[in-house]
Amino acid sequence: MDFKLTVLGCGSATPTLRFSPSAQVAAHGSDLFLFDCGEGTQLKLRRGGFNFQRIGHVFISHLHGDHYLGLQGLLSTMQLLGRTKPIHIYAHEHLEELTALQLRISRSHFRFEVHWCALTYSDKTIIAETDRLEVHSFPLDHRIPTCGFVISEKPKPRNIRPECIERYNIPVPRIRQIKAGADLTLDDGTVVPNAELTLDPDPLRSYAYCSDTAYSPSTATYVKGVDLLYHESTFLEDRAARAAKTHHSTARQAARVASEAGAGRLLLGHFSARYRDTTSFEEEAREIFPRSFAAEEGMTIDVAL
């Protein structure tokens, strides 16, 4: 099953014609998961051909405008397009209050259920779960309460060897048990061990979203071993002082987190409007973590290439 990430916006607080505010969408099969929702996200989703109604979960890292100002418009459009399916929104509790006020002043309401989940900021916590995935939040180090998120596949069943099904004429109800690890007892009492019947399951893939944050050694522990790590790099190292002051990171610091976490690849973003070219971000990060690359709006990446 495909597990892909599309970057909708990779700029920082001042949107420009080059960089839009933060938003990313992770697609796992046909399920869409939205990470942050800056102004204009709904148009970016349209441009990417995403079906709005397939977004079941929205994760808002923190309540600076460039990470959430597109949400009200997106929800409103979902409503106008006839949504009935519930949506789950994970954010600071203030966002629910704000949304309620926005509905009240426009004398409107949503005809679909909105399940609000208030984030906590003290430790890594499971916040969402579907049949195939789970999402954890964890605290980042920013000027206001901010969470990162890890979305990871749940343990998968073992893969049964197709030739075994035929050879032993395995009935369908037994297949699920064998995929779960059971041995097979034949009619003559012979036991065929599971290891002969199956192959290891497909590897579990995971993606971590870290925006916005200062460098923090604990981040690496929260995102240990993810296949793909997005870590903000608002600045280059020559502006490390500015990064520290504003609780943002440099490309070098992002690379350090990726290296400490043993991540598969590092995706850089949340570029300050002062930069026009992102090559320097890649160069700076690759000195520490070679598999680093800069986000581009509209780019789609396989989570575990």
Q: Looking at the annotation, which residues are catalytic?
A: 66
* Amino acid identity, position 11: G
Q: Are 201 and 158 in contact (CB under 8 A)?
A: yes
Contact call for residue 95 and a second copy (CB under 8 A): yes
Q: Where do we find the tokens 């199956």?
A: 198
Map residue 283 onto helix, strand or coil: helix
Q: Where do we find the tokens 């598969």?
A: 264
Task: Return the number of the residue (106 or 300) whose C-beta is nearest a second copy.
Answer: 106
Q: Are 194 and 141 in contact (CB under 8 A)?
A: no
Contact call for residue 80 and a second copy (CB under 8 A): yes
Task: Return the number of the residue (2 or 97) whose C-beta is nearest a second copy.
Answer: 97
- Closest among 212, 202, 184, 199 to 269, alpha carbons compared: 212
Which pair of tokens denotes residue 272? 């300050």
Contact call for residue 212 and a second copy (CB under 8 A): no
CA distances from 12 to 71, 171, 291 (A): 17, 56, 23
Segment interacting with a second copy, rule: CB under 8 A, options 17-25, 130-138, 180-188, 250-258 = 17-25
Rounded Cα–Cα distance for residues 183 and 158 (Å): 12
Identify the burial level of 98 via C-beta atoms within 10 angstroms of its C-beta, where 0-12 means exposed, 13-18 middle and 19 or more buried.
Answer: middle
Task: Return the number of the residue (101 or 126) whose C-beta is nearest a second copy.
Answer: 101
**Total residues at interface with a second copy (CB under 8 A):** 39
Which string of x and - marks every residue 229-268 that binds a second copy (by CB under 8 A)? ----------------------------------------
Task: Say which residues have a Cβ less than 8 Å from residue 105's Cβ, sequence separation at least 6.
Answer: none
Task: Return the number of the residue (63 or 299) whose C-beta is nearest a second copy.
Answer: 63
Which string of x and - marks every residue 26-65 that binds a second copy (by CB under 8 A)? -------------xx-xx--xx---------------xxx
Could you tell me how far CA 40 lies from the centroid of its own chain? Answer: 19
Contact call for residue 98 and a second copy (CB under 8 A): yes
Q: Where do we find the tokens 């505010």?
A: 21
Segment interacting with a second copy, rule: CB under 8 A, options 76-84, 118-126, 127-135, 183-191 = 76-84
Applying CB under 8 A, among 1, 2, 29, 94 the residue interacting with a second copy is 94
**Where on the chain is the footprint of a second copy (CB under 8 A)?**
13-17, 20-21, 39-40, 42-43, 46-47, 63-66, 69-70, 72-73, 76-77, 80-81, 92, 94-95, 97-98, 101-102, 104-108, 143-144
